[in-house]
Amino acid sequence: MKSKTIITIGALVLAGGLAWNKYRNHTVIPDLPFFSQVISDESGREISGSGFKGKYILVSYFQSWCGDCARELPSIQRLSDQIGKEKLEVVLISDEDFQKINAFKDKFNSDLAFFQYKESLKKQGISVYPTTYLIDPKGKIIMSKLEGFDWASKEVLQIIQ
């Protein structure tokens, strides 16, 4: 009887831990790794995330296979077109190779800046795609979203303008 109780308690603790881990990884937005990351453009030029401060920045971590990423990209493009590149820098980051990144970019005929992070995004705490942050010119996160969001919404436009 005692061993059955111990096994049951152990199973409940394990299940609770697994449920907490799933909740934490999929509903809580992770700390922004962007300012400490070094990302690369298609030519291989390395750029530090900290070099983007000074204007609004929209940073989106994405994967080319991600349906929500595909649905979100047109709204990011509209936001960029409405606000302008002099006031808003859009930085799209994937850990996939540039062949996949460029196929994704070409599919949407996008002129946004796409970058590669050479390590796993999962190791940086990014496990839900897209994970997107809006950062003010001082480097403070003012909005963050997991999965898809309409970044060209009135709410976002009012924040930036």
Residue range 32-160, CATH number: 3.40.30.10
Per-residue DSSP letter, 51: G
How far is it, in rounded angstroms, from Cα 3 to Cα 112? 60
In the numeric block, which tokens belong to residue 112?
A: 């946004």
Give the pLDDT score at 9. Answer: 59
Q: Do 134 and 144 contact (CB within 8 A), yes or no?
A: yes
Give the pLDDT score at 5. Answer: 65
Give the pLDDT score at 19. Answer: 46
Residue by residue, pLDDT tens for the chain (161 residues) are: 666 666 655 555 555 544 444 444 445 666 677 888 889 999 999 988 888 878 999 999 999 999 999 999 999 999 999 999 899 999 999 999 999 999 999 999 999 999 999 999 998 889 999 999 999 998 889 999 998 899 999 999 999 98
Q: 126 φ, ψ to 5°? A: -95, 110
Q: Which secondary structure element, helix H or strand E, spans residue 127, and what is its range?
A: none
Give the pLDDT score at 53. Answer: 78
Q: Where in the chain are the domains?
A: 1-30, 32-160
Give the pLDDT score at 123. Answer: 86
Q: Which pTM does this prediction carry?
A: 0.79
In the numeric block, which tokens belong to residue 154?
A: 């009135």
How far is it, in rounded angstroms, from Cα 101 to Cα 11? 42
